[in-house]
Amino acid sequence: MKRIVVLTGIILAACSGALYAQSAVTRSSITFEIKNMGITTGGSIGGLVTKVHFTPENLNASTIEASVDVNTINTDNSSRDEHLRSEDFFDVLRFPKISLKSVVFKHKGGNNYTGTFVLTIKDKSKQIEMPFTFLDKEGTVEFKGTFKINRLDFGVGSSSLILSDELAVKIDCEEKKQDLVRI
């Protein structure tokens, strides 16, 4: 029993100095581009929810988690949007969210970083590399990043001569810092 109390005390003492900023998304844009019949087309996905615990001075303790609601996919073509929501592509009835969870960060200089993230689409997870900028402004933080994926790696659609396998994703998010939480 004494060991448990001492161990608990050590853990609490070690964690008491860590500060994390809780945040609320104030502006976000998640867009994608893909070639369809040789022409670049694209759209957006909304419903961004995040948990950001990013401290440039302590990248090893930093984490970013995010998810989007695939039901919000918008390509400015309602027929195409419904097809993308169907079993043929995203199967939103079974897999309504796309999630992203950080693994490790590297500082590249200034406000530039590279993150390794686990991207999960349709219960298929794969590590991706994403270069991004992180700006800590007074009262807000801003995250901008881009990455490319092969849609077939995640079971989105099937092989096609018309639709490219690779697509590019751009994330632009601003969050208001809320309260500092000491853990």
pLDDT at 120: 98
Cα–Cα distance measured from residue 165 to residue 153, given in angstroms and rounded to the nearest whole number? 9
Compute the C-alpha angle 29/33/35, nearest 5°. 170
Structural domains for the chain: 20-182 (2.40.128.110)
Q: What is the pLDDT of residue 24?
A: 82
Ramachandran category for residue 10: left, alpha or beta (phi over 0 → left; psi -120 to 50 → alpha) = alpha
pLDDT, residue 176, reads 86
CA 162, 163, 167: angle at the middle one, nearest 5?
155
pLDDT at position 178: 61
pLDDT of residue 158: 94
- For 43, the token pair is 């759209």
Please tell me the predicted confidence (pLDDT) of residue 137.
85
At 13 the pLDDT is 33
Which spans in 42-134 are helix H?
78-85
| pTM, rounded to two decimals | 0.83
CA dist list (Å): 36 to 2, 55, 160:
66, 40, 10
Over the chain (183 residues), the average pLDDT of each successive run of 10 is 37 36 78 96 95 92 96 97 96 98 97 98 98 90 96 96 96 78 39
CA dihedral sign, ordered 15, 128, 130, 84: negative
Question: What DSSP state is assigned to residue 17?
Answer: T
